[in-house]
Amino acid sequence: MDKNWMHVPNRFTSAEYSEGVNKLLIMARAHAPESTTFRCPCRRCRNNLFLPINEVEDHLFMNGIDPSYTHWIFHGEGESWSVNSSYSNDDGFDPTRNFVDDMDDMLEDTRAGTFMDHASVPHEAGPTSPPTGNDGQSKTFDQLFEDAKRPLYPSCEKFSKLSFIVKLLHIKTVGGWTIKSFNMVLELLKAAFLDIKTPTSYHEAQRLERGLGFNYVKIHACPNDCMLFWNNDADKEFCPKCNELRWESTSGKKGKIPQKVLRYFPLISRLQRLFMSKDIAKSMKWHREQRVDDHSTLRHLVDFKMWRQFDKDHSWFAQDARNLRLGLANDGFNLYNNLAKPYSIWPVILVPYNLPLWLCMKDPYLMLSLLIPGPKAQGNDIDVYLQPLVNELQELWVHGVDTYDASTKGQFRLHAALLWTINDFPAYANISG
């Protein structure tokens, strides 16, 4: 559908604009024939308000339509789309494969990003050579590819073995299932469907997460928040500052148990993974290539003066739209929601602000970076726990890392900058030192 009318400057006298508004309202009525109110897509309401159809029409002429609303998802445009309309043999779509998931495509991009040969292609180069990697990782990905191509059972057309397991693991996480209950579900599925291809246990299914690179690092910490037993101090048994023992127990069947453990989710690999999906990689350049450049309205942090000033001060960073601007949020909360158990835990979350305003604050893109243990707030000692994250941020700023871009099938040098923190005032005082 032609939408050039959305940018017509003289709305009141333009027959093109009037005809475009009429088509939009006809589509909206057909989309919700029994509704008396509709989302208003004008510049002011931006689909946040439900109004009678005549008021929506008035707003569209008085305020103009939101120019960024190019896909009319709230007014029925998506209903005429076919699930497979974008596929053709020229695009590499295999008509003999009917699985609705695109897990194999995702693995193709992930594999290319994981096994890319840094030495074979310079940073500015185009398409990469075939990815290389060690035999262990390659075998893991080969198994994942096989599972992505294998149907869940012989006549299944909706799920591959891999996509079903991934969805089942996701339900376990969202639903808070125990490992025992997850194993019981797997046993029930195997008993009910003899030909089903599922793992025999949670631990077997969990190997998929390791194969896809979802892991974290446990770093032992001084119980008094003095230091981390990490890097050059990884082999120490006592804290050199307070002389506190690293271990809670040094004997027994369980062996040594650390008194305090920081869980760190490595940042660089997670930022690189954002570019291993074609769609997400394209969205990472939204702030430069697709947003509406209107400084009179603040819709996203890219509209703020600080963003533009940062681009002026660091022009080398701004040259590549894929370089990441990050925000950091942290605060403590009572893990048990019970004042009788005064235990607080402190998550540190990173937000990639390159993404469009409707994505950057969504759950899938909020990256948990650190999980700092309690039982009490660290105060100014929180900087001890921020060391692994700060080290990676410094590497991303100064040196950058070679990263595979699935949207261009090539490599580039990824840099990142931490521009904002989100805190209440006590946490802001602590994190600022």
CB atoms within 10 A of CB 429: 12
Confidence of residue 325 (pLDDT cuts 50, 70, 90): very high
Whole-number average pLDDT of the chain: 80
C-alpha to C-alpha distances, 355 to 113, 303, 325, 351, 413, nearest whole angstrom: 20, 13, 10, 9, 18
213-223: burial string, b at 16+ Cβ within 10 Å, e else: beeeeebbbbb
- Long-range contacts of range 405-408, CB-CB < 8 Å, 24 or more positions apart? 405/275, 405/281, 405/322, 406/109, 406/112, 406/113, 406/275, 406/276, 406/277, 406/278, 406/281, 407/275, 407/278, 407/281, 407/282, 408/126, 408/281
Report the range out of 76-90, 121-135, 278-292, 330-344 with the highest average pLDDT: 278-292
So what's the pLDDT on residue 224? 92
Beta-bridge partner residues of 323: none
Return d(Cα 366, Cα 358) in angstroms, integer.
13
**For 320-333, what is the mean pLDDT?**
92
Question: What pLDDT is attached to residue 138?
Answer: 52
Residue 4 CA: distances (Å) to CA of 19, 63, 65, 73, 291:
11, 17, 12, 18, 16
DSSP lists the bridge partners of residue 350 as 328, 367
Q: Backbone phi, then psi, for 425, in 5-degree steps? A: -65, -40
For residue range 4-14, what is the model confidence (pLDDT) as tens digits?
A: 888 887 887 88
Q: Work out the average pLDDT over 124-130.
A: 36
Contact 349, 423 (CB under 8 A): no
In this prediction, residues 20-31 reach a mean pLDDT of: 88
Cα distance between residue 298 and residue 426, in whole Å: 27
What pLDDT, on the 0 to 100 scale, is given for residue 90?
38
Amino acid at 225: D
Q: How far is Cα 49 from Cα 46, in angstroms, rounded to an integer?
A: 8
What is the band of 269 on the pLDDT scale with cuts at 50, 70, 90? confident
DSSP of 272-284:
HHHTTSHHHHHHT
Residue 135 in tokens: 């035999």
The pLDDT value recorded for residue 294 is: 76
Average pLDDT rounded to a whole number, residues 340-361: 87
Residue 133 has pLDDT above 50, yes or no: no
Confidence of residue 1 (pLDDT cuts 50, 70, 90): low
> Which ranges of 256-408 does DSSP label H, i.e. alpha helix?
267-274, 278-283, 286-289, 305-313, 315-318, 382-385, 387-398
pLDDT over 70 (residue 107) = no
Write out the H or E segment, with its range, that includes residue 220. strand 217-221
Indicate the SS3 state at residue 160.
strand
Task: Label residue 209 by pLDDT band (50, 70, 90).
Answer: low
Q: Are strands 333-334 and 261-264 parallel, antiparallel or unpaired?
A: unpaired
> Which pLDDT value is given to residue 102?
53
Q: What burial letters (b/e) apply to 179-197, b meaning 16+ CB within 10 Å?
A: eeebbeebeeeeeeeeebb
- Percent of the chain past pLDDT 90, that is, above it, reads 28
State what percent of residues in the chain have pLDDT above 70: 79
321-339 average pLDDT score: 84
- Inform me whether the pLDDT recorded for 259 exceeds 50: yes
Answer whether residue 348 shows pLDDT above 70.
Answer: yes
pLDDT (mean) for 317-329 = 95
Q: What is the mean pLDDT of residues 143-161?
A: 76
Per-residue pLDDT at 111 exceeds 70 = no
Q: What is the mean pLDDT of residues 422-426?
A: 88
Q: Do residues 173 and 133 make contact, with C-beta atoms less than 8 angstroms apart?
A: no
